[in-house]
Amino acid sequence: GAVVSQHPSRVICKSGTSVKIECRSLDFQATTMFWYRQFPKQSLMLMATSNEGSKATYEQGVEKDKFLINHASLTLSTLTVTSAHPEDSSFYICSAIRQNSNQPQHFGDGTRLSIL
């Protein structure tokens, strides 16, 4: 089945550090990947849509200079949280859609980001 791998699973770092999170589709090619953010006891909120070979589309209120997205290949998208601050601490989850299919999104296991 469709498997999405996310790395790292947990990051703890100091304020001001930039953190990169990787999302890989392991057994399929994904033209489109998505990045979500989830606060404790809340639902998933879409941050941006990542398209291979083009600029990401950000949802309203999401700072594109703060959350840099790169989708350089059909199996890898990265999210970089630049100059992270404590308020950026959250659970970040990616998902991917198999290329040329109507299959639903498959999610990674998430990255717990804690900024001290």
Partner 1 sequence: GQQLNQSPQSMFIQEGEDVSMNCTSSSIFNTWLWYKQDPGEGPVLLIALYKAGELTSNGRLTAQFGITRKDSFLNISASIPSDVGIYFCAGQLSYKLSFGAGTTVTVRA
Chain center to CA of 40: 17
112: amino acid identity, one letter: R
Q: How far apart are CA 113 and CA 116, in angstroms?
A: 10
Give min distance, CB of 110 to partner 1, in A.
Answer: 5
Give min distance, CB of 114 to partner 1, in A.
Answer: 13
Q: How far apart are CA 34 and CA 116, in angstroms?
A: 26
Give min distance, CB of 79 to partner 1, in A.
Answer: 14
109: amino acid identity, one letter: D
30: amino acid identity, one letter: A
Instruction: Report the interface residues with partner 1, using CB under 8 A.
Output: 4, 6, 32, 34, 42-46, 49, 59, 93, 95, 97, 102, 104-110, 112
Q: Which is nearer to partner 1, 32 or 75 (CB)?
A: 32
Q: Which is nearer to partner 1, 54 or 102 (CB)?
A: 102
